[in-house]
Amino acid sequence: MAFEKIIVLDFGGQYAHLIARRIREAGVKSEVFPCSATAQELKALECDLGSKIKGIVFSGGPSGVYEENAPECDPQILDLGVPVLGLCFGHQLIAKLLGGRVEKGAGEYGVAQLEIRKESPVFEGLDARQSVWMSHGDSVVEPPQGFDVLAGTPECGVAAFGNGSIFGLQFHPEVTHTENGQKMISNFVLEVCRCEKNWGIEDFAEKSVLEIKKQVGSSKAIIALSGGVDSSVATVLGSLAMGKNLTAVYVDNGFMRKGETDFVKKTFEQHFELNLIVVDAKERFFEAVRGVTDPEQKRKIIGCEFIRVFEEEARKINADYLFQGTIYPDRIESGSSKHSSTIKTHHNVGGLPEDIEFKGIIEPLTDLYKDEVRKVGENLDLPKQIVWRQPFPGPGLAVRIVGDVTPQKVKLLQEADAIVRETVLRYGVEDKIWQYFAVLTGTKSTGVKGDSRMYGDTVAIRMVESSDAMTAGFFKPDWALLEEISTRITNTLPEVTRVVYDITHKPPATIEWE
């Protein structure tokens, strides 16, 4: 079945992919392309895949349109004869390309009150006053000739313009802070682009299995299975497409949580008919990170070592392809878009070495967010304890130990982490917390144990609420829960003299400490 789709051109904004996701939530297929894609390339794509492009959205971006090196796009995209919607930077770029005027202004950041001044299909069904989310320095002060000003805010006279098929919105309808943003996006794709509402996450597994079959044919592949929801869902999709031609490889790198390897082995042997290999690679990983203190280097070394282990396993069974459970936030934070910045190198993306032996890497979940992956997992009937597991980073406890990583430190952290997990489960609050774990901070502090002075380790507890890991807020647990964690850790782990609670949101902190 050929799907109609909307293309999102990525100008480097953190939200480019969120736009695609909102379009999918409106029931229409959507894909993100770099802003360098030309009108010709987009047309060619349509022919290749047989899926009709019904509209294009220009994303926001970190630059101003007149800045040196600001991203541009092929102006012919505006002549393709399909509706275009520009958001924030995209709104300003359309104005610039079509002869409107963009100027430096006072800027607006956060919620703004929008007044809709002229009827338009994008605002169909909405009240004249809307709460919207802004984040811009420059502003469009005059729309291109032939375009109407559709809405404004007290600070921004041209917060929306349009001519029936090309529209610009200065604000971000894709973020939840814009109250009716989803309705505006649905209006654009359904009313302006006239797309059929026929895409849903329910169809994802079926289409993904077909695509994998097409890609790998009768070749063999291995999948990096960590036991988290992402790699588990990717494993099930791969095995539905390839059967026994797929082998799952679980690497015990020594940085796993207490009991993790047994859990993964048992769960997968019990629930799935899979070739599963468990590789004990503890020694080589410890050796590889010995003395390394820089977090980015640690991540890269671990990513590289993972690939080497997988290559060795692949050689043994003649596998050509490597599957990974990479999801979208892994990519965006690893700086996958040319104009976005690298936040940290996720081991399964930016941590890969350049010289890999595989014919190809297959990442069926690369466009999805975690909650979408969980929906796919539920649709595939994966056990609840897998679908709702808290996320765990590929480099494992190594990025929760600040400074160099040793087997003794890992052992200590495993015990502290197990106490956090057990206590959270006993208080029955696990469903409210996105991630909860312990960190070995690398800071020594003075304590008194027995009647003696002790200069010991400081353990931090991190618990965050989130829906997609792109942003997170620190969780506010009962004092009793924290007290119990702290007491158990200091009582049972003689090396620890202090336990602290991390009260930082993301941003500015990231969820993991390294």
Q: How far is the CB of 325 from ligand XMP (least distance, A)?
A: 7
Tokens of 40: 């010709």
| Dist. CA 186–CA 184, nearest whole Å | 5
Q: How far is the CB of 345 from ligand XMP (least distance, A)?
A: 7
Amino acid at 453: R
Neighbouring CB atoms inside 10 A of 58's CB total: 31
Q: Give the active site residue among 172, 339, 346, 347.
A: 172
Going by C-alpha positions, the residue among 147, 174, 171 that lies closest to residue 6 is 174
Place of tokens 């892994």: 330
In the complex, the smallest distance separating the C-beta of residue 513 from ligand XMP, rounded to whole angstroms, is 8
User: The dihedral of CA 294, 391, 334, 364: what is its sign?
Assistant: positive
346 part of the active site: no
Kindly tell me which of 17 and 346 has the beta carbon lying closer to ligand XMP. Answer: 346
Distances (CA, A) of 363 to 184, 228, 272: 31, 15, 20
Our CB check for ligand XMP shows the closer of 248 and 469 to be 469
Distance CA(456)–CA(220), nearest Å, equals 50
Find the catalytic residue in 174, 363, 372, 512: 174
**Whether 347 is catalytic:** no
Task: Examine the residue annotation and report whether 88 is marked as an active-site residue of this protein.
Answer: yes
Q: Which two tokens stand for residue 397?
A: 């406890």
Reported as type and span, the H/E element at residue 232 is helix 229-242
Q: Which is nearer to ligand XMP, 347 or 374 (CB)?
A: 347
Q: Which is nearer to ligand XMP, 17 or 91 (CB)?
A: 17
Which one is catalytic: 4, 17, 35, 88? 88
Residue 467 beta carbon to ligand XMP: minimum distance, rounded to whole angstroms: 11
- Which letter does DSSP use for residue 123 in this model? G
- Minimum distance, C-beta of residue 434 to ligand XMP, in the bound complex (Å): 7
- Residue 226 CA to residue 224 CA, distance in Å, equals 6
Binding site for ligand XMP (CB under 6 A): 299, 330, 333, 344, 346-348, 391, 393-395, 435, 469, 506, 510-512
Which residue spans within 318-359 are E strands per DSSP?
321-323
Q: Are 394 and 306 in contact (CB under 8 A)?
A: yes
Catalytic residue numbers, as ranges? 88, 172, 174
